[in-house]
Amino acid sequence: MLGRERRSKALVLILSAAFFVCFSVYSVKATEIDSWYIGDSTRPVVSAVDVSSHQSGLTETNYQNLKLLGVKTIIVKAMEGSSYTNSYALTQMKYAANAGLNVALYQYAKYTTATEAETEANYLLTWLKENNVNTDILIFSDIEAEASEVSSVWSNLSAFQSVLSSGGYTNQGFYASKSSTYLSRYLSSLVAVGRQLMVKSTTFIKTVNY
């Protein structure tokens, strides 16, 4: 147990040759919560944790402690849509890197058309270039928003990723909910596009102790 506690959604990544599978957990039953601490040897290994402005209070020591508990990657929320930027993102990236953790980013998508997707991608791309973010960094598109779950979601995602690729950021993946109407489409398209997928389950709630 660490000296400073913070609760956060955690992403449990199980690596395979083709893609990442990620479980972000919610409730088993309406009256029950299954929770555990990162590092609990009786539970699935937590290989990666995502953070946003909600975890802005984490110190560099907290990230070092996460590494000691077996976490390998921190996925930092960079922005949402085409108007919100996580003002703590650069600091969170720095702390994670200083702790010896891999650093990745995610963008919470709000687009519903290819044009909107391109606008959001350009917003992110501008931020990446302004802050000299390494082009090798892995960037996830978080397409869990209900509004983004439209029949053109795959072409919208492709439009988003094409803009990033044209800007030099070709290391990309995406989050999808296990309950997504289009999950099978995402899975069947993985090999063709060579992307990495995180499938988020809504089965449990996880309490993470930093």
Inside any domain, residue 205: no
The whole domain housing 155 covers 12-200
Q: How far apart (Å, rounded) are the C-alpha atoms in residues 53 and 104? A: 15
Judged by average pLDDT, the poorest of 76-90, 123-137, 139-153, 180-194 is 180-194
What is the pLDDT, as a whole number, of residue 200? 45
Inside any domain, residue 208: no
For residue 14, give the amino acid letter. I
pLDDT, tens digit (0-9, with 9 covering 90-100), for 168-210: 999 988 776 665 665 555 555 554 444 444 444 333 323 333 3
Inside any domain, residue 3: no
Inside any domain, residue 35: yes
Q: How far apart (Å, rounded) are the C-alpha atoms in residues 60 and 113? A: 39
- Is residue 14's pLDDT more than 50? no
Inside any domain, residue 5: no
By the 8 A CB rule, do 101 and 68 touch?
no
Inside any domain, residue 146: yes
Among 21-25, 29-33, 36-40, 105-109, name the most confident range.
105-109
What is the pLDDT, as a whole number, of residue 176? 67
By the 8 A CB rule, do 76 and 104 touch?
yes
What is the pLDDT, as a whole number, of residue 174? 78
**CATH code at 189?**
3.20.20.80
- Is residue 24's pLDDT more than 50? no
Question: Does residue 149 come out as left (phi exceeding 0), alpha (psi in the -120 to 50 range) or beta?
Answer: beta
Total structural domains within the chain: 1
Instruction: Please state whether the predicted TM-score (pTM) of the whole model is above 0.85.
Output: no
Inside any domain, residue 207: no
pLDDT, tens digit (0-9, with 9 covering 90-100), for 26-50: 333 444 556 677 888 888 788 888 8
Q: Where are the alpha helices (DSSP H) in 55-149?
A: 60-68, 89-98, 114-130
E strands of the chain, at which residues? 12-15, 20-23, 48-51, 73-80, 84-85, 102-108, 138-142, 172-177, 196-200
Inside any domain, residue 31: yes
